[in-house]
A and B are shown apart, each in its own frame.
Chain A
Amino acid sequence: MDDISFTANEGEILGFLGPNGAGKSTTMKIATGFISATSGQVEVAGFDVNDQSLESRRNIGYLPEHNPLYLEMYVNEFLEFSGKVYGMPSKELKVKIKEVIDKCGLTVEQNKKISALSKGYRQRVGLAQALLHDPKVLILDEPTTGLDPNQILEIRKLIKEISKDKTLIFSTHIMQEVQALCDRVIIINKGKIIADKTLKELSAESGNKTYRIEFSEEIDTSVLSGISGVSNVELNGSCQYKIETTSDKDIRSQIFKIASENDLPLVGLQEEAGSLEEVFHTLTGQN
């Protein structure tokens, strides 16, 4: 890691983005106190990670990459162990375990051995473990890798739900996830922060937009390229067109107007969600 500095605020979901090997996990390992930084300092909930290491660790809920769990333990047993490690009194712990099992949708699986659970459920156990002691800061390292689309949606929903009164940092390299969850995004590459912006600022950055439109029959593309700002129109499959613009102005209403003026049978009009991907690509792709 090279000279990185950022603050995550309370109630905020901070997405940590970067290509593989950029240093996302390393940053998180340093923040959780698993490895120590050669220089610089990290504060969690006001506690220095090195000097007040126990207090800072008490305030973190951490889901490491690959979600390591004690496979030979039962779900309940594992959560009980996790809670005891945080010194929770057993009465409070019982209530809390019930609560997180409920929240994470583990009710049916709670008496199973962790080794018998599918990946999605293991991920929930990992999340439950991170939430158990009600930490102020949640650090989730790639919480949705390797899950099927349904599970990803459920985990995302869960993350959104639990993040209300917490500071949440999570890493990913999936763009849709950032768009679905984050308030703010930090992009790092090769150990350096190359962007620290809110989602809106970042989408605006791309400066150009892509639209996909569909007509029920082939049309003359020249009417479309006449719209101001349009840089390229290409046929993409039968009767489908891809329009690229150089400005970040929304031209959908204009397209519609032109279509109706020229009596073109417009059946589909969609703004492409790929703009963040482009930003990501331009920021991390070169060098």
Chain B
Amino acid sequence: MFTIFIKEVNNFLNSLIAYIVIGVFLTSIGLLMWVFPESSILEYGYADMGTLFTMGPYVFMFLIPAITMRMFAEEKRTGTAELLFTRPLTSFDIIAGKYLAGFFLVVFSLIPTVLYYFSVYNLGNPVGNLDTPGIIGSYIGLTLLGGVFVSIGIFSSSVTENQVVSFILAVFLSFIMYSGLSSIAGINVWGEFSYIIEQFSVLYHYGSLSKGLIDLRDIVYFLSVIAVMLLITNLIINSRKW
């Protein structure tokens, strides 16, 4: 597992993917938070980091599939999958190694945004007038959300050998899981089931974490989505029907 992790991270670093992903993420979030007048903190005058946490998931929705799309698709297309799956590694080793590498990149791209926290903290009037627990909760939420998107991306990569298909599928599934489900729950046909459907959406649990309330139920939700996605990936990989 560790060997695969190292290989994937090396691959990110050697192929510039890592720099591009982190650079694009920080640039777009930076622009949204500080420059664009519609969403800039300096313009609307409240000392909070809402922009990062509402726009972050949408930026992730496109960037994470771009990281994960090649993970299995490329191995299948070039035939290196045969090399990998005939080594003394369980498919769990391989999936977990690849997953952790993707997750590592996500966490790595989030770390520099802590700088924004200190900026907003000092810009507040009075200084430090900031909802710190809410921000900590949001960070945990955003990290876990990144984890869910990576697992969706890995799954999408395992079903096809075409990277474009994998990318589009991952974006779509991430969108459905994030806000699609809660929007569907809003349609006025479900009656009392509407709330249950809503609870399946990432947005519902993400919102509750960003209030600063770190509820075990939300954490369990995120971890189980990740686990289910990786287990389905495992089934697909083991079936060799690709």
Complex interface bits, B1-18 against A, C-beta within 8 A gives 1, otherwise 0: 001001100110011000
Instruction: Report whether B79 and A72 are in contact in the complex, using a CB–CB cutoff of 8 Å.
Output: no
Complex interface bits, A62-84 against B, C-beta within 8 A gives 1, otherwise 0: 10101011111000010001101
User: Nearest residue in A to B2 (C-beta to C-beta)?
Assistant: A84
Number of A-B contacts (CB under 8 A): 53
CA distance A55 to B90 in the complex (A): 11
* A96 CB-CB contact with B under 8 Å: no
Complex interface bits, B127-142 against A, C-beta within 8 A gives 1, otherwise 0: 0000000000000000
**Of A32-40, A97-105, A175-183, A210-218, the one with at least 4 CB within 8 A of chain B:** A32-40
* B80 CB-CB contact with A under 8 Å: yes
Neighbour of A68 across the interface among B7, B79, B89, B240, CB < 8 A = B79
Neighbour of B89 across the interface among A55, A71, A72, A85, CB < 8 A = A85
Instruction: Report whether B88 and A29 are in contact in the complex, using a CB–CB cutoff of 8 Å.
Output: no
Instruction: Report whether A62 and B86 are in contact in the complex, using a CB–CB cutoff of 8 Å.
Output: yes
Instruction: Report whether B240 and A85 are in contact in the complex, using a CB–CB cutoff of 8 Å.
Output: no
Instruction: Report whether B88 and A64 are in contact in the complex, using a CB–CB cutoff of 8 Å.
Output: no
Classify chain A: how many residues form its interface, as a range: 20 to 34
Neighbour of B88 across the interface among A58, A68, A69, CB < 8 A = A58
Instruction: Report whether A57 and B3 are in contact in the complex, using a CB–CB cutoff of 8 Å.
Output: no
> Beyond A34-B240, A57-B88, is A72–B11 a contact (Cβ under 8 Å)?
yes
CA distance A29 to B78 in the complex (A): 16
Instruction: Report whether B11 and A85 are in contact in the complex, using a CB–CB cutoff of 8 Å.
Output: no
Instruction: Report whether A85 and B78 are in contact in the complex, using a CB–CB cutoff of 8 Å.
Output: no
Instruction: Report whether A33 and B89 are in contact in the complex, using a CB–CB cutoff of 8 Å.
Output: no
CA distance A129 to B84 in the complex (A): 12
Residues of A close to B3: CB separation below 8 A: 81, 84-85
List B residues 191-242 near A (Cβ within 8 Å).
Answer: 240
* A187 CB-CB contact with B under 8 Å: no
Instruction: Report whether B88 and A87 are in contact in the complex, using a CB–CB cutoff of 8 Å.
Output: yes
* A86 CB-CB contact with B under 8 Å: yes
Residues of A close to B79: CB separation below 8 A: 64, 66, 68
CA distance A64 to B83 in the complex (A): 7
Instruction: Report whether B240 and A72 are in contact in the complex, using a CB–CB cutoff of 8 Å.
Output: no
By CB atoms of chain A within 10 A, which of B11, B79, B83 has the most? B83
CA distance A129 to B86 in the complex (A): 12
Residues of B close to A71: CB separation below 8 A: 78
User: Nearest residue in A to B10 (C-beta to C-beta)?
Assistant: A77
* A8 CB-CB contact with B under 8 Å: no
* A60 CB-CB contact with B under 8 Å: yes
CA distance A77 to B7 in the complex (A): 9
* A54 CB-CB contact with B under 8 Å: yes
Residues of A close to B38: CB separation below 8 A: none
Residues of B close to A82: CB separation below 8 A: 87
> Beyond A34-B85, A34-B240, A84-B3, is A54–B90 a contact (Cβ under 8 Å)?
yes
Residues of B close to A34: CB separation below 8 A: 82, 85-86, 240
Shortest C-beta distance, A69 to chain B (Å), equals 7
> Beyond A86-B88, A87-B88, is A29–B14 a contact (Cβ under 8 Å)?
no
Instruction: Report whether B15 and A72 are in contact in the complex, using a CB–CB cutoff of 8 Å.
Output: yes
Instruction: Report whether B15 and A60 are in contact in the complex, using a CB–CB cutoff of 8 Å.
Output: no
Shortest C-beta distance, B82 to chain A (Å), equals 5
> Beyond A81-B3, A84-B3, is A68–B87 a contact (Cβ under 8 Å)?
no
Shortest C-beta distance, B14 to chain A (Å), equals 6
Q: Which 5 pairs between the two chains have the least Cβ-Cβ distance?
A: A68-B79, A32-B86, A58-B88, A84-B3, A57-B88
A-B contacts, 27 of them at CB < 8 A, read A29-B82, A32-B86, A34-B82, A34-B85, A34-B240, A35-B240, A36-B240, A54-B88, A57-B86, A57-B88, A58-B88, A62-B86, A64-B79, A64-B82, A64-B86, A68-B79, A68-B81, A68-B83, A70-B80, A71-B78, A72-B14, A77-B10, A81-B3, A84-B6, A86-B87, A87-B88, A129-B83
List the interface of chain B (C-beta within 8 A of A). 3, 6-7, 10-11, 14-15, 78-83, 85-90, 240
Q: Identify 13 new A-B residue pairs, CB closer than 8 A, beyond the known A58-B88, A71-B78, A87-B88.
A: A29-B82, A34-B86, A36-B240, A54-B88, A57-B88, A62-B86, A64-B79, A68-B78, A68-B82, A68-B83, A81-B3, A81-B7, A86-B87
